[in-house]
């Protein structure tokens, strides 16, 4: 009996110890809470931008969930599947309406199979302005197509600087500061657009509020020959219009005629060009003394405030150019420009025209009729240009400042081949006797073209408009034997569809049939195979004996199969969201 009491007393004494020992074993089975390590998280992002980052989760008790929240809203709940170690990806899109300069905080926490939580981990992302400002003198750099850029004031690419613009980049021009992008002599701009992702330079105004002249456009300057230079240095060079302080261009020798100012491929320039004062303006694309080493292909200007493309001297060439609803002239050459252009499209707005008179082609030799000497004249050569002028039929209303399909002036000797020029009140004008002389003598050539106008010919001082074929008159030159030129009258209202289809043109491509906001965004410019334009092109002239030119059977910019504006061109930019 005494022994039993002693055993009972012993058990009572050690029972708490056994209990405590048992409890200690259970606690040893619970391992530390989860821990997190974040990598690859951006420190900033743009509104609407998708971001992602990695979270390494260590969970000795086996991971249960990784939760991510912004504020109180869950953005992710990831099952960790009991793994003790794993790396997870968290994805999130910054709200499109996020306030610029604010910070988005993503809070992370993991739990394990023992319901133990990790410490909170925060990822802070600053919301950046989606538009990056470019101003002053730029340095050598490559832009980022995922970002937008805003030009403020006059922005320069100086001598020795190269700026590269990748496909799909959007550059906006600020209206208030009359933003203009200027490539100086020796500077290089490479716009590497593609048909699927063109480079776009356009107005910074909102959708529906953009208008001609919202910004100053693109100015490219080089050291190639002009007939206005007395030397190659600034003191002997002309300044380009519209830029302050003055920027000079060109040379009095042809040593630099093959110089490159960069690459301009699949480029759109919209709502650009400002007339600052009469005869002092920037254009959509202005070229001063630009060399032939510069590549310009698939370039479109639209709704410009002055000229579309203007060449002040130089030797630069171009292919696949579009000028849509330009305020003044579409293709304007001056100062001894000697380059070549093939495949050009001009679409005129009947109510967009400048007080100085607006023309599809306006080509001069200089600012006056002074003789700069044979070998220095403007001798630029065009082939395969289609002009949808301001009228689709003879009684269509239009601004009286839409005047000439071709206005050839001041001793010019440019050439136009295999083209169709339609819809202007007057077709062709020689503005001075020096122009008539240069064409009569073969310095300039107009051949194998089709001209459709209310009045075919006009003449300036000392020139006669009408005369027999072969006479020293505007008509006599155009209709000379062997010229291959055709002259037709603009059709009457009601007859236009059949008339234009007879040529092969599609009547619905004339701007006159629409409002600005309703012109087709992607018209079909291929010609009808049954039309007369499908045949008759001729490349036998010495001026076309150049590897630059692609021989075609068709006249105008398009054949029956391929519309080269598809994909990259935009014919309704007023509604385009950038």
pLDDT at 277: 64
Note if the pTM is more than 0.95: no
Residues 363, 410: Cα–Cα separation, whole Å:
8
Its sign, for the CA torsion 539, 542, 543, 549, is positive
Please state whether 375 falls in left (phi above 0), alpha (psi between -120 and 50) or beta.
left
* Ramachandran angles phi, psi of 4, nearest 5°: -65, -40
Could you give the count of Cα atoms lying within 13 Å of 30 in the half-sphere of its Cβ? 10
Q: Is 53 helix (H, G, I), strand (E, B) or coil?
A: strand
Q: Are 406 and 429 in contact (CB under 8 A)?
A: yes
Q: Give 3-state DSSP helix, strand, coil % of the chain, rounded to 5.
A: 10, 35, 50
Q: Could you tell me the residue ranges of all domains in the chain? A: 35-127
Contact 450, 416 (CB under 8 A): no
The two tokens of residue 486 are 């055709």
What pLDDT is recorded for position 28?
56
* pLDDT computed for residue 240 by the predictor: 95
CA gap 200, 578 in Å, rounded:
9
Architecture of domain 35-127: Sandwich (2.60)
For residues 353-366, one letter each, b for 16 or more C-beta atoms within 10 angstroms of the residue's C-beta and e for the rest, the string is bbebbbbbbbbbbb
Interior angle at CA 487, CA 446 and CA 535, nearest 5: 75
Identify the sign of the CA torsion 243, 244, 247, 252.
Answer: positive
Of 239, 235, 261, residue with least CA distance to 249: 239
Between CA 142 and CA 478 the distance in angstroms is 49
C-beta separation of 371 from 411 below 8 A = yes
* Beta pairing, strands 50-58 & 85-93: antiparallel
β pairing state of 309-312 and 199-203? unpaired
The number of angstroms, rounded, from the C-alpha of 386 to the middle of its chain's C-alpha atoms is 21
Cis peptide before 469 (omega within 30 of 0): no
- CA-based end-to-end distance of the chain: 100
Determine contact, residues 450/505, Cβ cutoff 8 Å: no
> What is the maximum span of the chain, computed from C-alpha positions, in angstroms?
153
What CA–CA distance (Å, rounded) separates 243 from 515? 33
DSSP label of 226:
-
Rounded to whole angstroms, how far apart are CA atoms 258 and 367? 25
Structural element, H or E, at residue 396: none
Distance, in Å, from the CA atom of 133 to the CA atom of 254, rounded to the nearest integer, reads 37
Q: How confident is the chain (578 residues) per 10-residue block, as mean pLDDT?
A: 44 41 54 96 92 97 97 96 96 93 96 96 92 96 94 97 98 96 98 98 93 96 96 93 92 96 98 80 96 98 96 98 96 97 97 88 93 93 98 93 95 98 96 96 97 96 95 97 96 96 97 93 96 97 96 98 97 91
* Tokens 């939580």 found at: 117
443 with 365: CB under 8 angstroms?
Answer: no
Q: Which residues of 529-555 are buried (b: 16+ CB within 10 A; e: fewer)?
A: eebbbbeebbbebebbeeeebeebebb
Q: Indicate the burial class of 472 (C-beta count within 10 angstroms; 0-12, 13-18, 19 or more).
A: middle
Identify the pLDDT of residue 17. 40
Helix (H), strand (E) counts: the chain:
4, 34
pLDDT at 10: 39
């Amino acid at each position: 009996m005494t022994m039993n009491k002693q055993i009972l007393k012993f058990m009572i004494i050690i029972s708490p110890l056994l209990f405590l020992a048992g409890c200690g074993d259970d606690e040893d089975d619970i391992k530390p809470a989860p821990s997190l390590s974040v990598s690859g998280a951006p420190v900033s992002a743009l509104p609407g931008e998708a971001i992602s980052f990695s979270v390494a989760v260590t969970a000795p008790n086996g991971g249960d969930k990784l939760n991510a929240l912004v504020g109180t809203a869950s953005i992710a709940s990831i099952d960790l599947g009991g793994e003790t170690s794993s790396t997870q990806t968290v994805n999130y899109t910054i709200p499109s309406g996020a306030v610029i300069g604010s910070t988005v905080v993503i809070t992370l926490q993991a739990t394990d199979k023992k319901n133990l939580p990790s410490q909170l981990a925060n990822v802070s992302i600053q919301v950046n302005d989606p538009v990056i400002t470019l101003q002053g003198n730029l340095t050598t750099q490559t832009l980022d197509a995922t970002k937008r850029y805003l030009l403020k004031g006059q922005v320069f690419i100086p001598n020795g600087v190269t700026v590269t613009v990748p496909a799909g980049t959007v550059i906006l021009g600020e209206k208030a500061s009359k933003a203009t992008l200027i490539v100086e002599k020796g500077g290089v701009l490479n716009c590497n657009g593609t048909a699927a992702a063109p480079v776009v330079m356009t107005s910074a105004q909102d959708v529906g509020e953009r208008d001609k002249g919202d910004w100053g456009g693109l100015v490219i300057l080089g050291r190639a020959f002009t007939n206005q230079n007395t030397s190659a240095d600034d003191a002997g060079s002309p300044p380009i219009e519209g830029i302050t302080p003055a920027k000079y261009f060109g040379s009095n020798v042809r040593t630099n005629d093959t110089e490159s100012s960069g690459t301009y491929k699949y480029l759109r320039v919209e709502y650009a060009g400002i007339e600052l004062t009469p005869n002092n303006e920037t254009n959509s694309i202005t070229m001063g003394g630009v060399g032939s080493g510069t590549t310009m292909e698939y370039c479109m200007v639209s709704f410009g405030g002055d000229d579309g493309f203007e060449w002040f001297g130089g030797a630069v060439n171009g292919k696949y150019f579009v000028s849509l609803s330009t305020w003044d002239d579409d293709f304007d050459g001056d100062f001894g420009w000697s380059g070549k252009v093939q495949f050009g499209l001009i679409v005129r707005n009947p109510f967009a025209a400048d007080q100085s008179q607006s023309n599809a082609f306006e080509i001069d030799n200089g600012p006056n009729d002074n003789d700069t000497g044979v070998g220095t004249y403007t001798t630029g050569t065009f082939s395969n240009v289609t002009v949808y002028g301001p009228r689709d039929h003879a009684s269509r209303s239009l601004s009286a400042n839409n005047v000439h399909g071709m206005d050839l002036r001041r001793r010019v000797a440019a050439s136009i081949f295999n083209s169709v020029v339609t819809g202007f009140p007057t077709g062709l004008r020689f503005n001075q006797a020096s122009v008539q002389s240069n064409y009569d003598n073969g310095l300039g050539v107009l051949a194998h073209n089709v001209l459709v106008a209310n009045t075919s010919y006009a003449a300036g001082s000392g020139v006669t408009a009408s005369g027999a074929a072969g006479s020293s008159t505007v008509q006599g030159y155009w209709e000379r034997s062997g010229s291959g030129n055709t002259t037709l009258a603009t059709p009457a209202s009601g007859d236009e569809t059949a008339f234009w289809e007879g040529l092969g043109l599609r009547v619905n491509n004339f701007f006159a049939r629409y409002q600005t906001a309703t012109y087709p965004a992607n018209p079909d410019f291929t010609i009808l195979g049954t039309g007369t334009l499908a045949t008759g092109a001729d490349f036998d002239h010495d001026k076309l004996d150049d590897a630059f030119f692609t021989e075609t059977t068709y006249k105008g910019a398009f054949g029956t199969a391929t519309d080269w504006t598809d994909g990259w061109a935009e014919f309704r930019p007023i509604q385009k969201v950038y």
